[in-house]
Amino acid sequence: YAERFPDRPLLLALTGTDLYRDIRDNADARQALELAHRLIVLQERGVDELAPHLAAKTRVIYQSSPDNPHKPAASDRFEVLVIGHLREEKDPFRTAWASALLPESSRIQVTHFGDALSEAMADTARLTQGKLPRWHWGGAVPHQAVLKHLSRAHLMVISSLMEGGANVICESLAADVPVLASRMSGNIGMLGVDYPGYFPVGDEKHLARLMSQVEEQEASRLTRVVAEFEQQTASPA
């Protein structure tokens, strides 16, 4: 594009694998950063991954989501959602393993919506679902259907190893659904350093404890923080 249209501005948006993998390993990706007139990252920590001369031409643009009124279903279940395709960088089975550590009295049921991007992932999902009664694989579902399920959920978990700025966080906050997130750069850039809902990357034991706490204390600090986020994002600039 830069060769064909040298006089036109070139804007380049960087997502998770772009920021946290490709620009380290791929010479073409690094060249694209130099050619772009402006770089766009989806959360404030993304700028930290770039060299100073690139950071100077970078802008942070958070993704948006329409309001999605929270209507939790009348049920004895405490509904937890995981949303995202089954890929290694998403650490997709961490919440499943956490669900196996919950006390027998827990009402938590976990549903994971997202396609398996390999047959091996699909096999693992089917095997996991057969072994863990609290975890259910919903497969690939249209986006509007996912948002409907989200509006009825009590909690959303994002366990990724890397994220550029997950829109599912925006969608959850827009639906008044608390988020538990792995403590990694992309999630911290979205939720802030002091957000109370983090667990260490890859730590299903810590995640299980947090899930239990949210279930037992629905009027918890985490829920209040979500309400504060909603007020802030609803306020005019």
**CATH number for position 192:** 3.40.50.2000
**Alpha carbon distance 82, 20 (integer Å):** 22
**Alpha carbon distance 164, 185 (integer Å):** 8
96, 135 contact by CB (below 8 A): yes
Which residues pair with residue 41 across a beta bridge? 14, 60
User: pTM for the full model?
Assistant: 0.86
65, 172 contact by CB (below 8 A): no
Sign of the C-alpha dihedral computed for residues 215, 191, 135 and 161 taken in this order: negative
Same-domain status, 39 and 90: no
- Judge whether 164 lies within some domain: yes
- Judge whether 3 lies within some domain: no
Q: What angle do CA 237, 50, 182 make, to 5 degrees?
A: 70
Same-domain status, 31 and 95: no
Tell me if residue 40 falls in helix, strand or coil. strand
pLDDT of 47 reads: 94
Same-domain status, 19 and 91: no
- Judge whether 189 lies within some domain: yes
Same-domain status, 197 and 107: yes
Same-domain status, 39 and 83: no
Same-domain status, 214 and 149: yes
- Judge whether 66 lies within some domain: no
- Judge whether 17 lies within some domain: yes
- Judge whether 19 lies within some domain: yes
Domain extent at residue 55: 11-60
Rg (C-alpha) for the chain, rounded Å, is 19
Which range among 16-30, 139-153, 163-177, 209-223 shows the weakest confidence by mean pLDDT? 209-223
Same-domain status, 39 and 123: no
**Alpha carbon distance 150, 68 (integer Å):** 9
Between 75 and 161, residue with greater pLDDT: 161
Same-domain status, 55 and 85: no
**Alpha carbon distance 92, 30 (integer Å):** 29
Reported confidence tier of residue 195, pLDDT bands at 50, 70, 90: very high
Question: If residue 125 lies in a helix (H) or strand (E), which one and from where to where?
Answer: helix 119-131
